[in-house]
Structure 1
């Protein structure tokens, strides 16, 4: 994977993480205000903060943040699936999971390509 493609996957991953965080904020507010009974409370905002933090880390090309977000998302969705047994939104979950995985690949390849560039520049000197 080239650097441009790696950067594209990184960008997609952190944009989706930001979108996920915004959705989390909106659903929490709707639930807390009683507009839509989802059983969410203000503690859900901690999850949103974690997601935004991981999105920031991914935007800075952090492999660790990309991996944590991927597994956090999968574990969270498994818990939701088992708690309510609904498969609503399964296609979206699969899409997010694939794109978060691509974000992992993007960060790994970005750093690999960066290291190769440094080695090539040192050999030219």
Structure 2
């Protein structure tokens, strides 16, 4: 049975598949496609965070997200200080997520 995946996978996945006596077809992406697939993979992993049911599952999924973030940082040559600066700037402007605020709706009386 042939299962189509068409997605970015970790470096050792083809080896793991072969060790399980299965076959796979891979290709090496160019930089532009790699960058785009990393972004798609980040969304995929973020969805998996939502589906976790235990702390251990959450840790595993967050570690996947961090792995992809590290790869994106490398591709775009982003250092930790740039991220910290942007994070702090957004927190100063819009706040963080410490107060557990859930926005239900906004009424805009100016656009009626």
Scaled by the length of structure 1, the TM-score of the pair is 0.36
Q: Please identify the structure whose Cα radius of gyration is greater.
A: 2
* Greater helix proportion: 1
Scaled by the length of structure 2, the TM-score of the pair is 0.39
Whose relative contact order is higher, 1 or 2, with alpha carbons under 8 Å and at least 6 apart? 1
